[in-house]
Amino acid sequence: MSQPIANRYEFVFLFDVENGNPNGDPDAGNMPRLDPETSHGLVTDVCLKRKIRNFVELAKGNVSPFEIYIREKAVLGTVQGRAHAAVAKEGGKKADAIKEARDWMCANFFDVRAFGAVMSLKDNNCGQVRGPVQLNFARSIEPVVPLEISITRMAVATEKEAESQSGDNRTMGRKHIVPYGLYRAEGFISAHLAAQTGFSEDDLELLWQALLVMFDHDHSAARGKMNARKLVVFKHESMLGNAPAQKLFDLVGVSRATDKSSPARAYSDYAVAVDAANLPVGVELIEKL
């Protein structure tokens, strides 16, 4: 593993969805998440982190030092038990068991190093980790109109169900989609927290790779067509940073390139402009896509 990162970063990530549901809300019948006051679409940070985790697991095979702690059907107490067993085997001090187990988790699990984790279970306590990589909710550039589409299934599950339908085997269902939406997420990476978790230059490159291609490995009938469209990275010269994050985010503008009286239906309906001329001193602009 390379050394922990020594620079602060912020980034702006644009992605879009076409005829799909980017992030269903289980409290609303799995409809696409919306800001109820503005009708802008929302995608949670948890949803985006899940896709990053899934890509890292595919790319690295879930082996140390790129294992994934929060994965489907994982028994977290058992995973943390591995940490305590490893620390005890290495001759760790009982009084420092929680700290040493926490450090072991950081060393072996990518998502703990990156996003942090609450691992203070009653058994096999590994404490808490505050991760250097944080994401805001993604928000659509313009309001979106979620649609509920009726679908049918020609087959049935049982013979009894087939008989009860008098020869008509169609089963009705529903799916929710957004016809089109361009979403913007903003993220932060703290070099000081990276020093605590060991989040390294190798981890950082893997994070950028995940953001750029994670949707290519996440296709499903529910999510439709989703694509990463642009990743703009701001690298500070120092650990503390050389400019306020919001001042950097304001340099990335997204506006309509076509008539606003018609709804957007493609990425080409928008224009993305990065104001590099007003980049603050001590900040490097990196466009990944």
d(CA 54, CA 171): 33
The pLDDT score that the predictor gives to residue 166 is: 57
Query: For 195-217, how does the pLDDT look when each residue is reduced to its tens digit (9 = 90+)?
Result: 999 999 999 999 999 999 999 99
Query: For 227-277, how does the pLDDT look when each residue is reduced to its tens digit (9 = 90+)?
Result: 999 999 999 999 999 999 999 999 999 999 999 999 999 999 999 999 999
Coil, strand or helix: which one is 222?
coil
Coil, strand or helix: which one is 100?
helix
Q: How remote is the C-alpha of 131 from its chain's centroid? A: 14
Query: For 122-137, how does the pLDDT look when each residue is reduced to its tens digit (9 = 90+)?
Result: 889 999 999 999 999 9
- Residue that the structure tokens 């095979």 belong to: 61
Determine the average pLDDT of the residues in 105-110.
98
Query: How many of the other CB atoms lie within 10 Å of CB of 279?
Result: 16
Amino acid at 190: S
Residue 8 φ then ψ, to 5°: -80, 145
Query: For 20-67, how does the pLDDT look when each residue is reduced to its tens digit (9 = 90+)?
Result: 999 999 999 899 999 999 999 999 999 999 999 999 999 999 999 999
Task: Say which DSSP state 3 is in.
Answer: P
Residue 192 φ then ψ, to 5°: -65, -45
Q: Which pair of tokens denotes residue 108?
A: 């072996």
The pLDDT score that the predictor gives to residue 95 is: 65
The pLDDT score that the predictor gives to residue 172 is: 75
Amino acid at 144: V
Q: Which pair of tokens denotes residue 283?
A: 């900040």
The pLDDT score that the predictor gives to residue 158 is: 78
Q: Supply the angle between the helices 97-108 and 76-89 in degrees, to the nearest 10.
A: 110
d(CA 146, CA 139): 14
- Residue that the structure tokens 């896509």 belong to: 289
- Closest to 79 (Cα-Cα) out of 121, 140, 115: 121
Residue 29 backbone zone (phi > 0: left; psi -120 to 50: alpha; other: beta)? left
Determine the average pLDDT of the residues in 167-195.
90
Do residues 14 and 182 touch, judged by C-beta distance below 8 A? yes
d(CA 179, CA 266): 10
Give the pTM.
0.94
Do residues 176 and 24 touch, judged by C-beta distance below 8 A? yes
Buried/exposed code over 228-245 (b: 16+ C-beta within 10 A; e: otherwise): bbbbbbbbbeeeebbbeb
The pLDDT score that the predictor gives to residue 252 is: 98
